[in-house]
Amino acid sequence: MSELRNLPLSAALLTLTWLAAVPSSAQDDPWEGTPQKAFLDSEIVRKYQCVTCHTIADQGGTVGPILNLVGLRREKDWLDRWLADPNAIKPGTKMPKFPFAPGERETTVGYLADMKRRLRTAEILAGDQEQTAKGRALFVDYDCYACHRIGDEGRFVGPDLTWVGLRKTERWERIWLSDPPGFKPDTFMPNFHIPQEGVAALAAYLHTLQGQDNDAGRQWEYRISMFINTNDVFRGEMVWKRYGCWACHGENGKGGIRNPNAAPGHEFVPDMSGVRDKYDKEAFLAKITSGSEVPAADPQAVPQPYRCPAYPREAFNQQDVDDLYAYVASLAPPKLRWIIK
């Protein structure tokens, strides 16, 4: 196991999935005869090993989105452009540009476009459940888990949503879900063309996510950490994702996230590079449990600027704080003590 210890999180998770993979017998395979299974068994997947990073039917890695229902959210034309050159659509993506032989790209697009099912949107919305229960059903129906995590379920391609209700307003969610690329043109989140009633139900559901599943996520991290890497910075990156710091401060605390309608001088949510030197661990904890905001450019306009949420103090145990601080401190440029002396 020792060679696993220094891998970055995504690579380590990938290796784990392989170790845990259990071949299923053909008789009781619920995927038998489905388009997902056809793709899994195809020459393309065998040749290019898409399952290293993607879950297809019940097999594969956790680095990329779950592909089982990809046909619901991507048009053929988009899939073709993506396979031709992933980096042109998402600079820096881990998905390689494959050297497809003539015809193979078209074949792959054909498989992917078939991987969908009939949406139950109308039935769900017509039901007599609570609004939030409808939202939760829609979340499953659109397969939002393919990219997002809540507690210990889902993937890390988009921000973890365990705490999304604390950091974003319901009103902002409605704007976002109506048309993500309309709000942020370079986003990887597709437009699902959800009817307005569905958007409202999803937003209401997302707003209920205020950390109820925090402990499930934390227990999962402990298991991963014990198995792969007990280093505090490694654990801290998972903690960073679980609380959704990524959603505002950038995936690796690198910043670059535009703060909508924030006053001049605050256009971007700060990166984390100066935090180690500005805050000791106590001041850091005080900062994220007290909440703070930046002035608005137009106080009447919607959406409001993002604010650093006041996470409840009891949401963090000591290990969370230690690991999160270690991770954030690791993002600062190295200290040159020997020069200062």
Which residues form the interface with ligand HEC (CB under 6 A)? 44, 48-50, 52-54, 63-65, 70, 73-74, 79, 82, 90, 93-96, 98, 108, 112, 139, 142, 144, 146-148, 157-159, 164, 167-168, 173, 176-177, 184, 187-190, 192, 202, 206, 243-245, 247-249, 259, 269-270, 274-275, 278-279, 284, 287-288, 292, 294, 306-309, 311, 324
Min separation Cβ 322 and ligand HEC, Å: 13
CA 32/CA 24 separation, integer angstroms: 11
Nearest CB to ligand HEC, comparing residues 228 and 248: 248
Closest to ligand HEC by CB, 17 vs 24, is 17
The values of phi and psi at residue 251, to 5°, are -55, -45
For the CB of residue 128, give the shortest distance to ligand HEC in the complex, in Å: 22
Choice between 120 and 184, CB closer to ligand HEC: 184
> Is the Cβ of residue 62 or residue 229 nearer to ligand HEC in the bound state?
62
Contacts of 73-82 spanning 24+ positions with Cβ under 8 A = 73/142, 73/143, 73/146, 73/190, 73/192, 74/112, 74/113, 74/190, 76/109, 76/113, 78/190, 79/108, 79/109, 79/112, 79/113, 80/105, 80/106, 80/109
- Report CA-CA distances (Å) from 58 to 52, 84, 269, 318: 13, 26, 38, 36
- CB of 137 or CB of 146, closer to ligand HEC: 146
Least CB distance to ligand HEC at residue 339 (A): 23
Q: Are 252 and 331 within 8 A, CB to CB?
A: yes
Nearer to ligand HEC, 137 or 269 (CB): 269
Q: Measured from the CB of residue 100, what is the shortest distance to ligand HEC in angstroms?
A: 8
C-alpha 123/C-alpha 73 separation (Å) is 19
Whose Cβ is closer to ligand HEC: residue 25's or residue 121's?
121
User: How near is the Cβ of 11 to ligand HEC at its closest, in Å?
Assistant: 9
Q: Among residues 251, 247, 243, which one has the least CA distance to residue 259?
A: 247
**In whole angstroms, how close is the CB of 8 to ligand HEC at the nearest point?**
13
Query: Cα–Cα distance between 302 and 185 in angstroms, integer?
Result: 18
CB of 338 to ligand HEC, least distance (A): 26
* Residue 117 or 278 having the CB closest to ligand HEC: 278
**Contact, 93 vs 50, CB < 8 A?**
no
Give the gyration radius of the chain's Cα atoms: 21
Angstrom CA distances, 236 to 16, 204, 226, stand at: 19, 30, 14
Say if CB 167 and CB 223 are below 8 A apart. no
